Chains A and B, each alone.
Chain A
């Protein structure tokens, strides 16, 4: 079963991968539709712990905000696709990902502009 791991801060994508405390793990079922969602909360921000969760969960894709080049390369090396620098709600990002239209650098917060 394919899994997508979204690094979140509340309802939004966490601005920084290395400082995130929460991830949303979405399992995709038949036809690429979400079959289950669950949250994993970290005790403290830790890139190593986050990378361990990605590996342990066998996630194929990570959706996150800003991520350092080293960690991006590490995940790429582990064959994990990283869609990074995404700004906006995790829900909208997931919807776009499922449609195949989410890409790195997307800003999805336009509707919340002041």
Chain B
């Protein structure tokens, strides 16, 4: 690390290296001879989800998580002095597997000795999406469908993508809002720039504010410098998932940004111009929330100017079979299994089921069945028990059935609200065993510490 620092100083460049790297649209990092991170640029922060301040000194393989790091370290290959280019994938902090092209090259000091390495990462999602769009009909990016509702959405997506206006995507949980947001970004003129995701909810307001708008050291106890999602998404797209969970003051701050395009980091005196396109999504009825004054009317109107509603799977009967086959073949090929389809009883059961968890639930069911299937066709017995025992998905997950009123797996807006059900299950179990946690854990089929952590998460004391 020291020699890399000296080498960089020896170049005696009267430029701010960090600022230069931050302007680059691809991920760049400098690593020491010991393969530890010395510096990474903002584009790499956006791709990996790690902040450079947290990563300094960490082994690069732990931060980049590039698949080739683990079988044949690319940095070792460049020790002979050659540049090395590899295609593979990384897994980022948002649990996304991103296809990337990485280039590795040695950095030399004044005496010609290797003092470190430079690694660049190009996000290949856009290229891959273009290729898959060419080969698969009935699709846009990673979204599949041939129902009239989806055809209408496919027709509008390229137009929406080319506009610079904010977009609001609505639909129940599991309908594919995240995929649509990503597809819009990749079809837009911002495609070569970062696509940054932020999921609201579950955090105190000051933390959400610091995550979104950035924070300067000392803004509150324990606060360090954080660039914020807006800065990370500079020139690209910021996707805010479940925007309905934003507090009123943060809604006001977002509205203010929509007017001025200026961001004021928490505790900071310097503002900056954020050239970012916003895509927001929610599974709740935002118009109703606006009427009830729990969501700012003006923000709702601004976001809703361009909106897309994704229908629940039960309204996309024409797509069900297409999606089932797609998930089956994708999973079977991943597991190298020769599964050709579904048996008739299995198919009947899958086609008549309601899918409260929408495409997400369908995908998990098919993937589960493919993993279990030992024959050429998926049989009824390969499906999760809750489908074959004529129970709801929620009943099968737990020995305790939630009571019917308000806990049937749907939230107030008809969406699938697993958290609410899980909380209710814990409460039911605790009531049943008169508050004894170990008994409740046993009843729920969990370990005690799992129950304890979930109780803490749901604020059950």
Which residue numbers of A lie inside 8 Å of B, CB to CB? 2-3, 9, 12, 15-19, 28, 32, 45, 48, 51, 60-61, 65-70, 72-74, 77, 79, 81, 84-85, 87, 100, 105, 107, 109-110, 112-114
Residues of the B chain whose Cβ atoms lie less than 8 Å from the Cβ of A113:
36, 56-58
Instruction: State whether A15 touches B95 (Cβ < 8 A).
Output: no
A60 and B447 contact, Cβ closer than 8 Å, known pairs A68-B97, A72-B95: yes
Taking the closest CB of chain A, its distance from the CB of B447, in whole angstroms, is 4
Taking the closest CB of chain A, its distance from the CB of B94, in whole angstroms, is 8
7 nearest interchain CB pairs? A113-B57, A2-B447, A66-B91, A60-B447, A69-B95, A114-B1, A66-B65
Instruction: State whether B36 touches A65 (Cβ < 8 A).
Output: no
Taking the closest CB of chain A, its distance from the CB of B168, in whole angstroms, is 23
Of the candidates B34, B65, B364, B454, the one whose C-beta lies within 8 Å of that of A16 is B65
Instruction: State whether A61 touches B95 (Cβ < 8 A).
Output: no
> CA–CA, A86 to B69, complex, Å?
17
Instruction: State whether B364 touches A67 (Cβ < 8 A).
Output: no
Taking the closest CB of chain B, its distance from the CB of A83, in whole angstroms, is 9
Taking the closest CB of chain B, its distance from the CB of A66, in whole angstroms, is 4
The verdict on B52 contacting chain A, using a C-beta distance below 8 Å, is no
Instruction: State whether A74 touches B367 (Cβ < 8 A).
Output: yes
Instruction: State whether A100 touches B449 (Cβ < 8 A).
Output: yes
The verdict on B62 contacting chain A, using a C-beta distance below 8 Å, is yes
Instruction: State whether B446 touches A79 (Cβ < 8 A).
Output: yes
Instruction: State whether A87 touches B450 (Cβ < 8 A).
Output: no
> CA–CA, A105 to B48, complex, Å?
12
> CA–CA, A95 to B446, complex, Å?
21
Instruction: State whether B57 touches A79 (Cβ < 8 A).
Output: no
In the complex formed, the residue of A with least CB distance to B92 is A66
> CA–CA, A73 to B362, complex, Å?
13
Instruction: State whether B93 touches A48 (Cβ < 8 A).
Output: no
A81 and B453 contact, Cβ closer than 8 Å, known pairs A2-B448, A61-B447, A72-B95: yes
Taking the closest CB of chain A, its distance from the CB of B102, in whole angstroms, is 15
Taking the closest CB of chain B, its distance from the CB of A62, in whole angstroms, is 11
**Can you list 12 A-B pairs with a CB-CB distance of less than 8 A?**
A2-B449, A15-B62, A16-B65, A32-B448, A66-B91, A74-B364, A79-B397, A84-B95, A109-B57, A113-B36, A114-B34, A114-B36
With an 8 Å Cβ cutoff, the count of chain B residues facing the other chain is 40
Of the candidates A9, A67, A107, the one whose C-beta lies within 8 Å of that of B58 is A107
Residues of the B chain whose Cβ atoms lie less than 8 Å from the Cβ of A69:
94-96
> CA–CA, A66 to B91, complex, Å?
6
> CA–CA, A114 to B59, complex, Å?
10
> CA–CA, A79 to B49, complex, Å?
26
Residues of the A chain whose Cβ atoms lie less than 8 Å from the Cβ of B447:
2-3, 28, 60-61
The verdict on B61 contacting chain A, using a C-beta distance below 8 Å, is yes
Taking the closest CB of chain A, its distance from the CB of B154, in whole angstroms, is 24
A68 and B95 contact, Cβ closer than 8 Å, known pairs A61-B449, A113-B56, A114-B57: yes
Which residue numbers of B lie inside 8 Å of A, CB to CB? 1, 32, 34, 36, 54, 56-59, 61-63, 65, 67, 69-70, 90-97, 335, 360, 364, 367-368, 371, 397, 445-450, 452-454
Taking the closest CB of chain A, its distance from the CB of B117, in whole angstroms, is 14
Taking the closest CB of chain B, its distance from the CB of A46, in whole angstroms, is 9
> CA–CA, A79 to B394, complex, Å?
12
> CA–CA, A70 to B54, complex, Å?
26
> CA–CA, A66 to B62, complex, Å?
9
Residues of the A chain whose Cβ atoms lie less than 8 Å from the Cβ of B452:
100
Taking the closest CB of chain B, its distance from the CB of A52, in whole angstroms, is 9
Contacts A15-B70, A109-B57, A109-B62 known; 8 new A-B pairs at CB < 8 A: A15-B62, A16-B65, A48-B335, A79-B397, A79-B446, A87-B62, A109-B59, A114-B34
Residues of the B chain whose Cβ atoms lie less than 8 Å from the Cβ of A61:
447, 449-450
> CA–CA, A73 to B448, complex, Å?
21
Residues of the A chain whose Cβ atoms lie less than 8 Å from the Cβ of B445:
79
Interface centre among B61, B70, B397 (most CB of A within 10 A): B70
Taking the closest CB of chain B, its distance from the CB of A17, in whole angstroms, is 8
In the complex formed, the residue of B with least CB distance to A61 is B450
Residues of the B chain whose Cβ atoms lie less than 8 Å from the Cβ of A85:
93, 95
> CA–CA, A100 to B28, complex, Å?
36
Residues of the B chain whose Cβ atoms lie less than 8 Å from the Cβ of A77:
364, 368, 397
Instruction: State whether A32 touches B449 (Cβ < 8 A).
Output: yes
Interface centre among A28, A77, A109 (most CB of B within 10 A): A77
> CA–CA, A18 to B67, complex, Å?
9
Residues of the A chain whose Cβ atoms lie less than 8 Å from the Cβ of B61:
15
> CA–CA, A44 to B63, complex, Å?
23
Residues of the A chain whose Cβ atoms lie less than 8 Å from the Cβ of B446:
60, 79
> CA–CA, A85 to B62, complex, Å?
9
Residues of the B chain whose Cβ atoms lie less than 8 Å from the Cβ of A72:
95
